Amino acid sequence: MREPLPSTHDLAQRLGAHAHVSRVVATRPLSSSLTEVELEGESASLTGEPGNDVMVLVDQHGTRMVRRRYSVRSVDPAADRFRLWVTTGHDGAGSAWARRAAAGDEVDVVGPRGKVLVDPHAAWHLFVGDVSGLSAFYRMAESLTAPRQAIVVVEIDHGDDALTTSVAEGVTITGVFVDRRERRHDDPEGLLRALAAVAWPEGDGHAYVVGEFSVVQTVVHALHDRGLDADAISPKSYWRANRANLDHGEPERDAR
C-alpha cells in the first residue's frame, strides 16, 4: 500500500489521530439511500470505539482536498477490515466517491475521529436522526450490555432505508422509522412527532442526536423540554440542507 499524502499526515498530526491508506474491498447497495463501503488496512488504529468516525479523502483537485467523515459501522479485527454506511441518495463528493468506489481502490483515511461515545452510566440510550446516523447508532447499540435499553428514532426517505440490527441478549431495542413523505430535509416535524410518542424508560437516559444541521438543533431543544439535561444529550450535525459540507468535512455554520 502507498503512503498517505503529506496533507493527510499533517491533518492527522494536528488532530492527534492516525493517517493510513486503506484499500476498498467491496461496496454493496444496502437500500435506496445507503451504500456500504468495506475497507481493509490498519483497522485497529483507525476505527476507535463505537461512536467514532473516520475521515476519508473522497476527492482532490490539485491542492484542494475534499474529505468527508463517516461513522464506523463495524470492524472485523481478524480480517483487518471495517465498514462504512454512506448515504448515496443525493449528489455530493462523498456520495460520488461511494458510488464509484471499486475493489482495489486505495484511499487516504484519518482516524479515529469524534467525541460522541456511549455514555457508560445511562440505563437507556435514545438515538435520533436520519439515515446518515444509522451506522453510528447501530455500532453503539450493538456495544450495549444487559440490562440496557436502546430506542432508535430515524426519519427515512424510502421504505427500504428501515434497516435493522440485533443487539446483545438482555438489551432491548425499539426502532421507530418515520416516513419523511413530502417534508423538506430541514423540517424537524416528523422526528418531533415521533419523539412525542416515545415514553422515556425508567432511570437515567442519554440521547444522541445526529443528522441535518437545523433539525439537530430543534430536536435538542425538544429533548431539553422533555427534561433531559444538556450533559445527557450529545448532538452532532453531520450535513446541512442545500449546502455542501466544507472540504474538511464539517457542515457550514452561520457567521456570528
* Nearer to ligand FAD among residue 48 and residue 205 (C-beta): 48
Residues touching ligand FAD, count (CB under 6 A)? 29
Q: Which residue's Cβ lies closest to ligand FAD?
A: 92
Q: Does 184 bind ligand FAD (CB under 6 A)?
A: no
Judge contact between 30 and 36, C-beta under 8 A: yes
C-alpha cell of 149?
Answer: 435499553
**Per-position DSSP letters for 168-215, written without gaps between them:** -TT-EEEEEEEE-TT--TT--HHHHHHHHTPPP-SS-EEEEEEEEHHH
Identify which range of 93-101, 146-154, 162-170, 173-181 contacts ligand FAD by CB under 6 A.
93-101
Rounded to the nearest angstrom, the gap between the alpha carbon of residue 182 and the centroid of all alpha carbons in its chain is 24
Q: Does 180 bind ligand FAD (CB under 6 A)?
A: no
In the DSSP assignment, the letter for residue 103 is: T
Judge contact between 133 and 210, C-beta under 8 A: yes
* Nearer to ligand FAD among residue 41 and residue 111 (C-beta): 111
Q: Cβ of residue 12: shortest distance to ligand FAD, in angstroms? A: 16
Judge contact between 144 and 118, C-beta under 8 A: yes
State which of positions 126-145 bind ligand FAD (CB under 6 A): 132, 135-136
Q: Does 69 bind ligand FAD (CB under 6 A)?
A: yes
Q: Does 165 bind ligand FAD (CB under 6 A)?
A: no
CA dist 129 and 246 (Å) reads 21
Q: Cβ of residue 139: shortest distance to ligand FAD, in angstroms? A: 9
C-alpha cell of 145?
Answer: 450490555
Identify which range of 41-49, 89-97, 172-180, 187-195 contacts ligand FAD by CB under 6 A.
89-97
Q: Does 71 bind ligand FAD (CB under 6 A)?
A: yes
CA dist 112 and 26 (Å) reads 21
Identify which range of 162-170, 187-195, 227-235, 242-250 contacts ligand FAD by CB under 6 A.
242-250
CA dist 163 and 198 (Å) reads 20
Give the list of residues 6+ apart from residue 254 with CB closer than 8 angstroms, or none: none
**Cell 460520488 sits on residue:** 96
Judge contact between 105 and 25, C-beta under 8 A: no
* Nearer to ligand FAD among residue 93 and residue 123 (C-beta): 93
* Nearer to ligand FAD among residue 23 and residue 158 (C-beta): 158
Q: Does 86 bind ligand FAD (CB under 6 A)?
A: yes
Coil, strand or helix at 127: strand
Q: Does 234 bind ligand FAD (CB under 6 A)?
A: no
* Nearer to ligand FAD among residue 38 and residue 53 (C-beta): 53
Q: Rule CB under 6 A: which residues touch ligand FAD?
A: 53, 68-71, 85-87, 90, 92-95, 114, 132, 135-136, 185, 236, 238-245, 249-250
